Amino acid sequence: MIDLLSAATATAKQWLSSNIDEESKKQINALLESTDKKKLIDSFYRSLEFGTGGLRGIMGVGSNCINQYTIGFATQGLANYLLKSFPNQPIQVAIAHDSRNNSRYFAEVTANVFSANGITVHLFPELRPTPMLSYAIRYLKCQSGVVITASHNPKEYNGYKAYWTDGAQLVPPHDVNVMKEVSALTSFDQIKFTPDKSRIKSIGSEPEEAYYKEVLKLIPRQESIKKQSDISIVYSSLHGAGITMVPECLKRLGFKNINIVEEQRVPDGNFPTIPSPNPEEKAAMDLALKKAKAINADLVMATDPDTDRVGIGIKNDSGEFFLLNGNQALALMAWFILKNLKTTGNSYIVKTIVTTDLIDKMAEQIGIECINTLTGFKYIAELIRDNEGKKKFIVAGEESYGYMVGDFVRDKDAVSACAFFAAMAAAARDEGKTLYTWLSQVYAEYGLYKEGLVNVVKKGAEGEQQIKYMMDEFRNNPPHVIAGQKVIKIFDYLTSEEKNLLNGHIKPIQLPKSDVLQFITWEGSKISVRPSGTEPKIKFYISVSTRLTEPKNVELAMKHLDEKIKNIEKDIIR
Protein backbone atom coordinates (compact mmCIF):
# COMPACT_ATOMS: atom_id res chain seq x y z
CA MET A 1 0.00 0.00 0.00
CA ILE A 2 2.87 2.38 0.88
CA ASP A 3 4.61 1.72 -2.47
CA LEU A 4 1.36 2.34 -4.32
CA LEU A 5 0.82 5.58 -2.42
CA SER A 6 4.36 6.76 -3.18
CA ALA A 7 3.96 5.96 -6.88
CA ALA A 8 0.54 7.60 -7.05
CA THR A 9 1.75 10.72 -5.22
CA ALA A 10 4.76 11.09 -7.51
CA THR A 11 2.63 10.76 -10.64
CA ALA A 12 0.02 13.18 -9.30
CA LYS A 13 2.74 15.79 -8.61
CA GLN A 14 4.09 15.24 -12.12
CA TRP A 15 0.67 16.04 -13.51
CA LEU A 16 0.44 19.13 -11.29
CA SER A 17 3.69 20.53 -12.62
CA SER A 18 2.69 19.93 -16.24
CA ASN A 19 0.72 21.96 -18.75
CA ILE A 20 -2.82 20.85 -17.85
CA ASP A 21 -5.98 22.86 -17.21
CA GLU A 22 -6.66 24.60 -13.89
CA GLU A 23 -9.74 22.52 -13.05
CA SER A 24 -7.71 19.30 -13.29
CA LYS A 25 -5.00 20.82 -11.05
CA LYS A 26 -7.65 21.77 -8.51
CA GLN A 27 -8.96 18.17 -8.43
CA ILE A 28 -5.44 16.75 -8.06
CA ASN A 29 -4.67 19.06 -5.15
CA ALA A 30 -7.88 17.94 -3.45
CA LEU A 31 -6.80 14.31 -3.81
CA LEU A 32 -3.33 15.03 -2.41
CA GLU A 33 -4.74 16.95 0.55
CA SER A 34 -7.40 14.37 1.43
CA THR A 35 -6.74 12.14 4.44
CA ASP A 36 -8.33 9.22 2.58
CA LYS A 37 -5.68 8.26 0.03
CA LYS A 38 -7.63 5.46 -1.68
CA LYS A 39 -8.98 7.66 -4.48
CA LEU A 40 -5.54 9.19 -5.04
CA ILE A 41 -4.05 5.71 -5.38
CA ASP A 42 -6.83 4.45 -7.66
CA SER A 43 -6.49 7.54 -9.88
CA PHE A 44 -2.69 7.62 -10.22
CA TYR A 45 -1.06 4.32 -9.19
CA ARG A 46 -0.59 3.25 -12.82
CA SER A 47 -1.30 4.29 -16.40
CA LEU A 48 -4.21 2.74 -18.26
CA GLU A 49 -3.21 -0.03 -20.70
CA PHE A 50 -4.97 -1.81 -23.55
CA GLY A 51 -6.82 -4.93 -22.39
CA THR A 52 -9.23 -7.26 -24.24
CA GLY A 53 -11.49 -4.25 -24.86
CA GLY A 54 -8.89 -1.49 -25.34
CA LEU A 55 -8.49 1.44 -22.94
CA ARG A 56 -11.20 1.50 -20.27
CA GLY A 57 -11.59 3.13 -16.88
CA ILE A 58 -13.55 5.41 -14.58
CA MET A 59 -13.85 8.97 -15.83
CA GLY A 60 -11.92 11.50 -13.76
CA VAL A 61 -8.56 13.14 -13.31
CA GLY A 62 -5.49 10.88 -13.20
CA SER A 63 -3.25 8.55 -15.18
CA ASN A 64 -5.49 5.58 -14.36
CA CYS A 65 -8.70 7.35 -15.40
CA ILE A 66 -10.38 8.28 -18.65
CA ASN A 67 -9.94 12.00 -19.32
CA GLN A 68 -8.83 14.27 -22.16
CA TYR A 69 -5.17 13.68 -21.30
CA THR A 70 -5.17 9.87 -21.19
CA ILE A 71 -7.27 9.97 -24.38
CA GLY A 72 -4.72 12.42 -25.80
CA PHE A 73 -1.76 10.21 -24.88
CA ALA A 74 -3.42 7.15 -26.45
CA THR A 75 -4.26 9.03 -29.63
CA GLN A 76 -0.82 10.62 -29.97
CA GLY A 77 0.78 7.21 -29.47
CA LEU A 78 -1.52 5.64 -32.06
CA ALA A 79 -0.86 8.54 -34.45
CA ASN A 80 2.90 8.13 -34.05
CA TYR A 81 2.60 4.40 -34.73
CA LEU A 82 0.42 4.98 -37.80
CA LEU A 83 2.91 7.49 -39.20
CA LYS A 84 5.72 4.95 -38.74
CA SER A 85 3.65 2.05 -40.13
CA PHE A 86 2.50 3.89 -43.27
CA PRO A 87 5.39 6.22 -44.17
CA ASN A 88 4.89 8.68 -47.04
CA GLN A 89 1.24 7.65 -47.37
CA PRO A 90 -1.97 9.62 -46.78
CA ILE A 91 -3.46 8.18 -43.57
CA GLN A 92 -7.15 8.08 -42.70
CA VAL A 93 -8.97 7.10 -39.52
CA ALA A 94 -12.66 6.75 -38.63
CA ILE A 95 -14.09 7.74 -35.24
CA ALA A 96 -17.40 6.90 -33.56
CA HIS A 97 -18.82 7.21 -30.06
CA ASP A 98 -21.72 5.93 -27.95
CA SER A 99 -24.12 7.67 -25.55
CA ARG A 100 -21.91 7.78 -22.46
CA ASN A 101 -21.21 11.02 -20.64
CA ASN A 102 -18.31 12.86 -22.33
CA SER A 103 -18.23 10.41 -25.27
CA ARG A 104 -18.74 13.14 -27.87
CA TYR A 105 -16.15 15.35 -26.21
CA PHE A 106 -13.57 12.54 -26.10
CA ALA A 107 -14.34 11.69 -29.75
CA GLU A 108 -13.63 15.30 -30.69
CA VAL A 109 -10.40 15.32 -28.65
CA THR A 110 -9.37 12.18 -30.53
CA ALA A 111 -10.24 13.77 -33.89
CA ASN A 112 -8.31 16.92 -32.99
CA VAL A 113 -5.12 15.05 -32.10
CA PHE A 114 -5.21 12.88 -35.23
CA SER A 115 -5.81 15.91 -37.47
CA ALA A 116 -3.00 17.85 -35.77
CA ASN A 117 -0.69 15.00 -36.79
CA GLY A 118 -1.64 15.36 -40.47
CA ILE A 119 -4.09 12.43 -40.42
CA THR A 120 -7.47 12.70 -42.17
CA VAL A 121 -10.36 12.00 -39.81
CA HIS A 122 -13.80 10.64 -40.73
CA LEU A 123 -16.02 11.44 -37.74
CA PHE A 124 -19.59 10.25 -37.34
CA PRO A 125 -21.78 13.34 -36.78
CA GLU A 126 -23.67 11.63 -33.94
CA LEU A 127 -23.52 8.46 -31.88
CA ARG A 128 -23.31 5.16 -33.77
CA PRO A 129 -22.87 1.49 -32.80
CA THR A 130 -19.38 0.01 -32.52
CA PRO A 131 -19.99 -2.48 -35.40
CA MET A 132 -20.77 0.48 -37.66
CA LEU A 133 -17.33 1.90 -36.85
CA SER A 134 -15.70 -1.45 -37.67
CA TYR A 135 -17.52 -1.55 -41.00
CA ALA A 136 -16.77 2.11 -41.82
CA ILE A 137 -13.02 1.58 -41.44
CA ARG A 138 -13.01 -0.90 -44.31
CA TYR A 139 -15.66 0.90 -46.35
CA LEU A 140 -13.76 4.21 -46.21
CA LYS A 141 -10.39 2.45 -46.67
CA CYS A 142 -8.98 3.77 -43.40
CA GLN A 143 -5.77 2.58 -41.79
CA SER A 144 -7.26 2.75 -38.30
CA GLY A 145 -10.25 3.77 -36.24
CA VAL A 146 -11.39 4.53 -32.72
CA VAL A 147 -14.71 4.23 -30.90
CA ILE A 148 -15.26 6.00 -27.60
CA THR A 149 -17.19 3.61 -25.36
CA ALA A 150 -16.99 1.53 -22.21
CA SER A 151 -19.38 -1.02 -23.69
CA HIS A 152 -21.61 -2.46 -20.94
CA ASN A 153 -19.73 -1.05 -17.93
CA PRO A 154 -21.49 1.13 -15.30
CA LYS A 155 -22.10 4.83 -16.00
CA GLU A 156 -18.88 6.02 -14.28
CA TYR A 157 -16.80 4.39 -17.01
CA ASN A 158 -15.71 5.35 -20.48
CA GLY A 159 -13.14 3.95 -22.85
CA TYR A 160 -11.22 3.94 -26.10
CA LYS A 161 -11.25 1.01 -28.52
CA ALA A 162 -8.62 1.19 -31.24
CA TYR A 163 -8.94 -0.64 -34.57
CA TRP A 164 -6.61 -1.55 -37.43
CA THR A 165 -7.04 -1.49 -41.21
CA ASP A 166 -9.21 -4.62 -41.31
CA GLY A 167 -11.80 -3.12 -38.94
CA ALA A 168 -10.64 -5.34 -36.07
CA GLN A 169 -9.41 -4.29 -32.64
CA LEU A 170 -5.66 -4.07 -32.17
CA VAL A 171 -3.86 -7.35 -31.57
CA PRO A 172 -0.15 -8.07 -31.12
CA PRO A 173 2.15 -6.64 -32.26
CA HIS A 174 0.10 -3.50 -32.95
CA ASP A 175 -1.40 -3.09 -29.45
CA VAL A 176 1.99 -3.58 -27.79
CA ASN A 177 3.67 -1.20 -30.23
CA VAL A 178 1.06 1.50 -29.68
CA MET A 179 1.58 1.23 -25.92
CA LYS A 180 5.34 1.58 -26.47
CA GLU A 181 4.66 4.77 -28.41
CA VAL A 182 2.41 6.01 -25.60
CA SER A 183 5.03 5.13 -22.96
CA ALA A 184 7.66 7.05 -24.93
CA LEU A 185 5.63 10.24 -24.45
CA THR A 186 7.02 12.03 -21.39
CA SER A 187 5.11 15.30 -21.47
CA PHE A 188 1.63 16.59 -22.21
CA ASP A 189 3.36 19.11 -24.47
CA GLN A 190 4.13 16.24 -26.85
CA ILE A 191 0.41 15.74 -27.48
CA LYS A 192 -0.78 17.79 -30.45
CA PHE A 193 -4.15 18.99 -29.21
CA THR A 194 -4.58 21.90 -31.67
CA PRO A 195 -6.67 20.56 -34.56
CA ASP A 196 -6.37 21.01 -38.31
CA LYS A 197 -10.10 21.43 -38.91
CA SER A 198 -9.65 20.97 -42.68
CA ARG A 199 -8.73 17.33 -42.05
CA ILE A 200 -11.85 16.46 -40.01
CA LYS A 201 -14.69 15.27 -42.24
CA SER A 202 -18.24 14.25 -41.29
CA ILE A 203 -19.29 10.75 -42.32
CA GLY A 204 -22.36 10.67 -44.54
CA SER A 205 -25.05 8.01 -44.91
CA GLU A 206 -23.25 5.86 -47.51
CA PRO A 207 -21.43 3.46 -45.12
CA GLU A 208 -24.63 2.84 -43.17
CA GLU A 209 -26.62 2.14 -46.35
CA ALA A 210 -23.95 -0.30 -47.48
CA TYR A 211 -23.99 -1.98 -44.04
CA TYR A 212 -27.75 -2.69 -44.24
CA LYS A 213 -27.28 -4.28 -47.66
CA GLU A 214 -24.59 -6.59 -46.26
CA VAL A 215 -26.91 -7.73 -43.45
CA LEU A 216 -29.80 -8.40 -45.83
CA LYS A 217 -27.54 -10.55 -48.03
CA LEU A 218 -26.82 -12.91 -45.11
CA ILE A 219 -30.28 -13.45 -43.59
CA PRO A 220 -31.70 -16.90 -44.51
CA ARG A 221 -35.39 -17.80 -44.73
CA GLN A 222 -36.50 -14.31 -45.82
CA GLU A 223 -39.69 -15.80 -47.27
CA SER A 224 -40.67 -16.62 -43.68
CA ILE A 225 -40.21 -12.98 -42.69
CA LYS A 226 -42.63 -11.93 -45.45
CA LYS A 227 -45.23 -14.37 -44.14
CA GLN A 228 -44.63 -13.51 -40.48
CA SER A 229 -43.86 -9.78 -40.78
CA ASP A 230 -46.34 -8.98 -38.00
CA ILE A 231 -44.39 -10.95 -35.40
CA SER A 232 -44.31 -8.84 -32.22
CA ILE A 233 -40.82 -7.66 -31.27
CA VAL A 234 -39.92 -5.59 -28.19
CA TYR A 235 -36.61 -3.73 -28.43
CA SER A 236 -34.68 -1.56 -25.98
CA SER A 237 -31.49 0.34 -26.69
CA LEU A 238 -30.89 0.78 -22.92
CA HIS A 239 -30.29 4.52 -23.54
CA GLY A 240 -27.51 3.64 -26.00
CA ALA A 241 -26.51 3.89 -29.65
CA GLY A 242 -28.64 0.92 -30.79
CA ILE A 243 -31.66 3.17 -31.29
CA THR A 244 -29.92 4.73 -34.31
CA MET A 245 -29.72 1.48 -36.30
CA VAL A 246 -31.47 -1.59 -34.83
CA PRO A 247 -35.10 -0.54 -35.51
CA GLU A 248 -34.17 0.64 -38.99
CA CYS A 249 -32.40 -2.63 -39.78
CA LEU A 250 -35.45 -4.62 -38.64
CA LYS A 251 -37.76 -2.45 -40.77
CA ARG A 252 -35.59 -2.98 -43.84
CA LEU A 253 -35.87 -6.72 -43.32
CA GLY A 254 -39.63 -6.35 -43.44
CA PHE A 255 -40.68 -6.48 -39.78
CA LYS A 256 -43.72 -4.28 -39.12
CA ASN A 257 -44.49 -4.77 -35.43
CA ILE A 258 -41.44 -3.33 -33.63
CA ASN A 259 -42.22 -2.01 -30.15
CA ILE A 260 -39.61 0.29 -28.63
CA VAL A 261 -39.24 0.60 -24.84
CA GLU A 262 -39.95 4.33 -24.74
CA GLU A 263 -38.51 4.90 -21.25
CA GLN A 264 -35.11 3.80 -22.61
CA ARG A 265 -35.31 5.23 -26.14
CA VAL A 266 -33.41 8.49 -25.52
CA PRO A 267 -29.59 8.14 -25.39
CA ASP A 268 -28.44 9.06 -21.89
CA GLY A 269 -25.06 8.37 -20.30
CA ASN A 270 -26.59 8.35 -16.83
CA PHE A 271 -28.71 5.29 -17.75
CA PRO A 272 -31.50 6.54 -15.45
CA THR A 273 -33.82 3.51 -15.67
CA ILE A 274 -31.26 0.78 -14.94
CA PRO A 275 -28.51 0.12 -12.37
CA SER A 276 -26.09 -0.88 -15.14
CA PRO A 277 -26.50 -0.96 -18.96
CA ASN A 278 -25.50 -4.60 -19.26
CA PRO A 279 -27.99 -6.91 -21.03
CA GLU A 280 -26.35 -9.84 -19.24
CA GLU A 281 -28.04 -8.59 -16.05
CA LYS A 282 -31.77 -9.19 -15.62
CA ALA A 283 -32.35 -5.74 -14.09
CA ALA A 284 -31.33 -4.17 -17.41
CA MET A 285 -33.97 -6.26 -19.21
CA ASP A 286 -36.85 -5.72 -16.77
CA LEU A 287 -38.63 -2.87 -18.62
CA ALA A 288 -38.39 -4.72 -21.94
CA LEU A 289 -39.79 -7.90 -20.37
CA LYS A 290 -42.58 -5.91 -18.72
CA LYS A 291 -43.59 -4.41 -22.06
CA ALA A 292 -43.37 -7.81 -23.76
CA LYS A 293 -45.72 -9.36 -21.21
CA ALA A 294 -48.15 -6.43 -21.52
CA ILE A 295 -48.49 -6.76 -25.31
CA ASN A 296 -47.93 -10.54 -25.50
CA ALA A 297 -44.85 -10.12 -27.70
CA ASP A 298 -42.95 -12.96 -29.35
CA LEU A 299 -39.38 -11.75 -28.84
CA VAL A 300 -37.48 -9.39 -26.54
CA MET A 301 -34.12 -7.81 -27.44
CA ALA A 302 -31.96 -5.21 -25.66
CA THR A 303 -28.54 -3.92 -26.67
CA ASP A 304 -25.78 -2.36 -24.58
CA PRO A 305 -24.67 1.30 -25.04
CA ASP A 306 -22.31 0.71 -27.96
CA THR A 307 -24.51 -2.04 -29.45
CA ASP A 308 -22.03 -4.86 -29.67
CA ARG A 309 -23.92 -7.12 -27.22
CA VAL A 310 -27.57 -8.14 -27.16
CA GLY A 311 -29.75 -9.80 -24.53
CA ILE A 312 -32.58 -12.03 -25.76
CA GLY A 313 -35.86 -12.97 -24.08
CA ILE A 314 -38.17 -15.73 -25.38
CA LYS A 315 -41.22 -17.64 -24.13
CA ASN A 316 -41.14 -21.16 -22.75
CA ASP A 317 -43.84 -23.78 -23.41
CA SER A 318 -46.00 -22.19 -20.70
CA GLY A 319 -45.91 -18.83 -22.45
CA GLU A 320 -43.70 -17.27 -19.77
CA PHE A 321 -40.75 -15.10 -20.77
CA PHE A 322 -37.25 -16.02 -19.70
CA LEU A 323 -33.83 -14.71 -20.69
CA LEU A 324 -31.43 -16.75 -22.78
CA ASN A 325 -27.87 -16.68 -21.59
CA GLY A 326 -25.13 -15.97 -24.14
CA ASN A 327 -24.35 -19.65 -24.64
CA GLN A 328 -27.98 -20.56 -25.36
CA ALA A 329 -28.42 -17.64 -27.74
CA LEU A 330 -25.24 -18.53 -29.64
CA ALA A 331 -26.27 -22.20 -29.84
CA LEU A 332 -29.62 -21.21 -31.35
CA MET A 333 -28.03 -18.79 -33.80
CA ALA A 334 -25.31 -21.23 -34.90
CA TRP A 335 -27.85 -24.06 -35.31
CA PHE A 336 -30.16 -21.87 -37.41
CA ILE A 337 -27.34 -20.66 -39.65
CA LEU A 338 -25.67 -24.05 -40.08
CA LYS A 339 -29.00 -25.76 -40.84
CA ASN A 340 -29.60 -23.24 -43.63
CA LEU A 341 -26.14 -23.40 -45.19
CA LYS A 342 -26.15 -24.60 -48.79
CA THR A 343 -22.74 -26.15 -48.32
CA THR A 344 -20.40 -26.61 -45.35
CA GLY A 345 -17.29 -27.40 -47.41
CA ASN A 346 -14.10 -25.61 -46.33
CA SER A 347 -16.09 -23.50 -43.86
CA TYR A 348 -15.54 -22.83 -40.18
CA ILE A 349 -17.13 -21.25 -37.12
CA VAL A 350 -15.39 -19.70 -34.11
CA LYS A 351 -16.00 -19.48 -30.37
CA THR A 352 -13.93 -18.60 -27.32
CA ILE A 353 -12.44 -21.11 -24.89
CA VAL A 354 -14.95 -20.15 -22.15
CA THR A 355 -17.98 -20.49 -24.42
CA THR A 356 -20.20 -23.60 -24.34
CA ASP A 357 -18.81 -26.85 -25.74
CA LEU A 358 -22.25 -27.43 -27.22
CA ILE A 359 -21.03 -25.43 -30.23
CA ASP A 360 -18.06 -27.79 -30.70
CA LYS A 361 -20.40 -30.80 -30.48
CA MET A 362 -22.82 -29.28 -32.97
CA ALA A 363 -20.08 -28.43 -35.46
CA GLU A 364 -18.57 -31.91 -35.16
CA GLN A 365 -21.86 -33.66 -35.95
CA ILE A 366 -22.81 -31.27 -38.75
CA GLY A 367 -19.33 -31.64 -40.25
CA ILE A 368 -17.91 -28.15 -39.97
CA GLU A 369 -14.71 -26.98 -38.29
CA CYS A 370 -15.05 -25.18 -34.96
CA ILE A 371 -12.02 -23.16 -33.84
CA ASN A 372 -11.53 -21.94 -30.27
CA THR A 373 -9.77 -18.65 -29.46
CA LEU A 374 -8.92 -16.68 -26.36
CA THR A 375 -11.60 -14.38 -24.96
CA GLY A 376 -12.05 -11.23 -27.03
CA PHE A 377 -13.39 -10.70 -30.52
CA LYS A 378 -10.05 -9.24 -31.59
CA TYR A 379 -8.70 -12.81 -31.63
CA ILE A 380 -11.68 -14.00 -33.68
CA ALA A 381 -11.10 -11.17 -36.16
CA GLU A 382 -7.40 -12.02 -36.33
CA LEU A 383 -8.30 -15.63 -37.18
CA ILE A 384 -10.63 -14.45 -39.95
CA ARG A 385 -7.88 -12.28 -41.40
CA ASP A 386 -5.39 -15.16 -41.32
CA ASN A 387 -7.86 -17.45 -43.13
CA GLU A 388 -8.99 -15.00 -45.83
CA GLY A 389 -8.85 -16.66 -49.22
CA LYS A 390 -8.30 -20.09 -47.64
CA LYS A 391 -11.50 -20.91 -45.72
CA LYS A 392 -15.00 -19.46 -45.49
CA PHE A 393 -16.00 -17.92 -42.17
CA ILE A 394 -19.64 -18.48 -41.15
CA VAL A 395 -20.42 -17.35 -37.59
CA ALA A 396 -18.68 -16.56 -34.30
CA GLY A 397 -19.77 -15.89 -30.76
CA GLU A 398 -18.88 -15.77 -27.11
CA GLU A 399 -20.76 -16.41 -23.89
CA SER A 400 -20.81 -12.71 -23.00
CA TYR A 401 -23.65 -11.95 -25.47
CA GLY A 402 -21.45 -11.14 -28.47
CA TYR A 403 -22.19 -12.57 -31.94
CA MET A 404 -20.99 -12.01 -35.49
CA VAL A 405 -22.29 -13.49 -38.75
CA GLY A 406 -20.27 -13.03 -41.93
CA ASP A 407 -17.00 -11.14 -42.11
CA PHE A 408 -18.12 -7.72 -43.33
CA VAL A 409 -17.84 -6.48 -39.71
CA ARG A 410 -14.78 -7.54 -37.70
CA ASP A 411 -16.17 -7.16 -34.19
CA LYS A 412 -19.17 -8.44 -32.31
CA ASP A 413 -22.29 -6.93 -33.83
CA ALA A 414 -25.61 -6.57 -32.02
CA VAL A 415 -27.28 -4.77 -34.94
CA SER A 416 -27.00 -7.76 -37.26
CA ALA A 417 -27.55 -10.15 -34.32
CA CYS A 418 -30.93 -8.51 -33.63
CA ALA A 419 -31.80 -8.99 -37.31
CA PHE A 420 -30.87 -12.68 -37.11
CA PHE A 421 -32.82 -13.37 -33.91
CA ALA A 422 -35.90 -11.66 -35.36
CA ALA A 423 -35.51 -13.72 -38.55
CA MET A 424 -35.17 -16.88 -36.44
CA ALA A 425 -38.36 -16.10 -34.51
CA ALA A 426 -40.22 -15.56 -37.80
CA ALA A 427 -38.88 -18.79 -39.32
CA ALA A 428 -39.81 -20.78 -36.21
CA ARG A 429 -43.36 -19.41 -36.21
CA ASP A 430 -43.61 -20.14 -39.92
CA GLU A 431 -43.02 -23.79 -39.00
CA GLY A 432 -45.61 -23.61 -36.23
CA LYS A 433 -42.85 -23.70 -33.61
CA THR A 434 -41.09 -21.32 -31.22
CA LEU A 435 -37.46 -20.51 -30.45
CA TYR A 436 -37.90 -22.48 -27.23
CA THR A 437 -39.00 -25.52 -29.26
CA TRP A 438 -35.92 -25.11 -31.39
CA LEU A 439 -33.64 -24.81 -28.35
CA SER A 440 -35.09 -28.02 -26.89
CA GLN A 441 -34.50 -29.68 -30.27
CA VAL A 442 -30.86 -28.55 -30.21
CA TYR A 443 -30.40 -30.07 -26.75
CA ALA A 444 -32.02 -33.34 -27.85
CA GLU A 445 -29.74 -33.55 -30.90
CA TYR A 446 -26.43 -32.59 -29.38
CA GLY A 447 -26.74 -32.84 -25.57
CA LEU A 448 -27.96 -30.54 -22.82
CA TYR A 449 -25.29 -28.06 -21.75
CA LYS A 450 -25.78 -25.56 -18.94
CA GLU A 451 -23.43 -22.81 -17.92
CA GLY A 452 -23.04 -20.60 -14.89
CA LEU A 453 -21.02 -17.42 -14.47
CA VAL A 454 -19.91 -15.87 -11.20
CA ASN A 455 -18.22 -12.46 -11.13
CA VAL A 456 -16.25 -11.57 -8.01
CA VAL A 457 -15.71 -7.80 -8.02
CA LYS A 458 -12.44 -6.43 -6.59
CA LYS A 459 -12.13 -2.70 -7.22
CA GLY A 460 -9.11 -0.40 -7.28
CA ALA A 461 -5.42 -1.02 -6.73
CA GLU A 462 -6.07 -3.24 -3.72
CA GLY A 463 -8.61 -5.26 -5.70
CA GLU A 464 -6.13 -5.77 -8.52
CA GLN A 465 -3.65 -7.27 -6.07
CA GLN A 466 -6.34 -9.53 -4.59
CA ILE A 467 -7.25 -10.85 -8.04
CA LYS A 468 -3.59 -11.55 -8.79
CA TYR A 469 -3.28 -13.43 -5.48
CA MET A 470 -6.39 -15.52 -6.27
CA MET A 471 -5.02 -16.50 -9.68
CA ASP A 472 -1.64 -17.38 -8.15
CA GLU A 473 -3.38 -19.60 -5.58
CA PHE A 474 -5.35 -21.47 -8.25
CA ARG A 475 -2.19 -21.89 -10.30
CA ASN A 476 0.12 -22.98 -7.49
CA ASN A 477 -2.43 -24.99 -5.48
CA PRO A 478 -4.96 -26.26 -8.03
CA PRO A 479 -8.01 -28.23 -6.86
CA HIS A 480 -7.84 -31.99 -7.47
CA VAL A 481 -11.51 -32.59 -6.65
CA ILE A 482 -14.35 -30.13 -7.33
CA ALA A 483 -17.80 -30.78 -5.83
CA GLY A 484 -16.98 -34.48 -5.59
CA GLN A 485 -15.75 -34.66 -9.19
CA LYS A 486 -12.13 -35.64 -9.78
CA VAL A 487 -10.13 -33.14 -11.85
CA ILE A 488 -8.44 -34.98 -14.73
CA LYS A 489 -7.04 -32.12 -16.83
CA ILE A 490 -5.74 -28.59 -16.21
CA PHE A 491 -5.29 -26.09 -19.02
CA ASP A 492 -2.99 -23.19 -18.11
CA TYR A 493 -3.05 -20.61 -20.89
CA LEU A 494 -0.37 -18.50 -19.20
CA THR A 495 2.21 -21.29 -19.26
CA SER A 496 0.67 -22.70 -22.48
CA GLU A 497 0.41 -26.18 -20.95
CA GLU A 498 -2.33 -28.80 -20.93
CA LYS A 499 -1.65 -31.25 -18.11
CA ASN A 500 -3.29 -34.67 -17.90
CA LEU A 501 -3.50 -35.53 -14.20
CA LEU A 502 -4.23 -39.20 -14.91
CA ASN A 503 -0.93 -39.94 -16.65
CA GLY A 504 1.12 -36.78 -16.05
CA HIS A 505 1.46 -36.01 -19.75
CA ILE A 506 1.90 -32.34 -20.70
CA LYS A 507 0.97 -30.94 -24.11
CA PRO A 508 1.56 -27.43 -25.45
CA ILE A 509 -1.44 -25.15 -26.01
CA GLN A 510 -1.29 -23.51 -29.42
CA LEU A 511 -2.75 -20.13 -28.44
CA PRO A 512 -1.22 -16.83 -27.30
CA LYS A 513 -0.44 -16.64 -23.59
CA SER A 514 -3.30 -15.44 -21.39
CA ASP A 515 -4.03 -15.51 -17.66
CA VAL A 516 -6.70 -18.22 -17.85
CA LEU A 517 -7.01 -21.55 -16.02
CA GLN A 518 -9.40 -24.39 -16.88
CA PHE A 519 -10.16 -27.48 -14.81
CA ILE A 520 -11.82 -30.47 -16.52
CA THR A 521 -13.46 -33.11 -14.34
CA TRP A 522 -14.06 -36.83 -14.82
CA GLU A 523 -17.75 -36.14 -15.55
CA GLY A 524 -16.91 -33.58 -18.25
CA SER A 525 -17.61 -30.44 -16.23
CA LYS A 526 -15.41 -27.47 -17.17
CA ILE A 527 -14.48 -24.68 -14.75
CA SER A 528 -12.64 -21.67 -16.17
CA VAL A 529 -11.08 -18.88 -14.11
CA ARG A 530 -9.78 -15.58 -15.50
CA PRO A 531 -9.44 -11.94 -14.52
CA SER A 532 -11.66 -9.69 -16.65
CA GLY A 533 -9.78 -7.66 -19.22
CA THR A 534 -12.25 -4.78 -19.02
CA GLU A 535 -13.67 -4.70 -15.48
CA PRO A 536 -12.32 -4.99 -11.90
CA LYS A 537 -13.42 -8.58 -11.38
CA ILE A 538 -12.33 -12.19 -11.52
CA LYS A 539 -14.67 -14.43 -13.50
CA PHE A 540 -15.62 -18.06 -12.89
CA TYR A 541 -17.23 -19.91 -15.82
CA ILE A 542 -18.87 -23.23 -15.02
CA SER A 543 -20.08 -25.65 -17.70
CA VAL A 544 -21.91 -28.92 -17.04
CA SER A 545 -23.77 -31.25 -19.38
CA THR A 546 -25.92 -34.35 -19.65
CA ARG A 547 -27.62 -36.39 -22.35
CA LEU A 548 -31.23 -35.54 -23.10
CA THR A 549 -33.42 -38.40 -24.29
CA GLU A 550 -36.46 -36.29 -25.22
CA PRO A 551 -37.05 -32.53 -25.64
CA LYS A 552 -39.94 -32.68 -23.14
CA ASN A 553 -37.48 -33.55 -20.36
CA VAL A 554 -35.55 -30.25 -20.69
CA GLU A 555 -36.93 -28.54 -17.57
CA LEU A 556 -36.23 -31.47 -15.25
CA ALA A 557 -32.73 -31.99 -16.64
CA MET A 558 -32.03 -28.24 -16.33
CA LYS A 559 -32.88 -28.32 -12.62
CA HIS A 560 -30.46 -31.19 -12.11
CA LEU A 561 -27.68 -29.26 -13.88
CA ASP A 562 -28.47 -26.08 -11.93
CA GLU A 563 -27.86 -28.01 -8.70
CA LYS A 564 -24.60 -29.28 -10.09
CA ILE A 565 -23.50 -25.71 -10.92
CA LYS A 566 -24.41 -24.48 -7.42
CA ASN A 567 -22.34 -27.23 -5.82
CA ILE A 568 -19.35 -26.37 -7.99
CA GLU A 569 -19.73 -22.66 -7.16
CA LYS A 570 -19.65 -23.40 -3.43
CA ASP A 571 -16.52 -25.50 -3.80
CA ILE A 572 -14.44 -23.50 -6.29
CA ILE A 573 -14.92 -19.87 -5.24
CA ARG A 574 -12.44 -19.28 -2.44
CATH of the domain at 524: 3.30.310
Task: Kindly state whether residue 214 falls inside one of the protein's structural domains.
Answer: no
Closest CA to 110 of 16, 119, 132: 119
pLDDT reported for residue 344: 78
pLDDT reported for residue 50: 66
Whether 381 and 254 share a structural domain:
yes
Whether 488 and 549 share a structural domain:
yes
Task: Kindly state whether residue 485 falls inside one of the protein's structural domains.
Answer: yes
Angle between helical axes of 206-218 and 414-430 (0-180°, round to 10) = 30
Closest CA to 101 of 182, 45, 158: 158
Distance of CA 29 to the CA centre of its chain: 36
- The greatest distance separating any two alpha carbons of the chain, rounded to the nearest whole angstrom, comes to 71
Whether 24 and 70 share a structural domain:
no
pLDDT reported for residue 461: 82
Whether 121 and 234 share a structural domain:
no
Whether 439 and 453 share a structural domain:
no
> What stretch of H or E contains 235?
strand 233-236
Q: What is the number of domains present in the chain? A: 4
Whether 395 and 505 share a structural domain:
no
318 is catalytic: no
Whether 370 and 352 share a structural domain:
yes
Phi-psi region of 165 (alpha: psi -120 to 50; beta: other; left: phi over 0): alpha
Whether 194 and 246 share a structural domain:
no
pLDDT reported for residue 11: 94
Task: Kindly state whether residue 54 falls inside one of the protein's structural domains.
Answer: no
pLDDT reported for residue 38: 92
Boundary (domain end) residue, out of 446, 467, 483: 446
Phi-psi region of 238 (alpha: psi -120 to 50; beta: other; left: phi over 0): left
Whether 301 and 368 share a structural domain:
yes
Closest CA to 423 of 185, 174, 253: 253
Whether 460 and 435 share a structural domain:
no
pLDDT reported for residue 460: 83
Residues of the chain below pLDDT 70: 1-2, 50-53, 574
pLDDT reported for residue 88: 93
Determine which one of 43, 151, 532, 543 is catalytic.
151
69: which residues sit within 8 A by CB, 6+ positions away?
A: 15, 20, 24, 188, 191
Task: Kindly state whether residue 143 falls inside one of the protein's structural domains.
Answer: yes
CA distance 490 to 145: 38
Task: Kindly state whether residue 148 falls inside one of the protein's structural domains.
Answer: yes
Boundary (domain end) residue, out of 145, 173, 208: 208
Whether 20 and 85 share a structural domain:
no
Whether 187 and 175 share a structural domain:
yes
Task: Kindly state whether residue 215 falls inside one of the protein's structural domains.
Answer: no
Domain limits for position 527: 449-572
Task: Kindly state whether residue 325 falls inside one of the protein's structural domains.
Answer: yes
Q: What is the CATH number of the domain that holds 406?
A: 3.40.120.10
Contact between residue 442 and residue 243 where contact means Cβ atoms under 8 Å apart: no
CA distance 93 to 122: 6
pLDDT reported for residue 573: 84
Boundary (domain end) residue, out of 154, 180, 208: 208
Task: Kindly state whether residue 51 falls inside one of the protein's structural domains.
Answer: no
pLDDT reported for residue 550: 78
List 482's β-bridge partners, or say none.
485
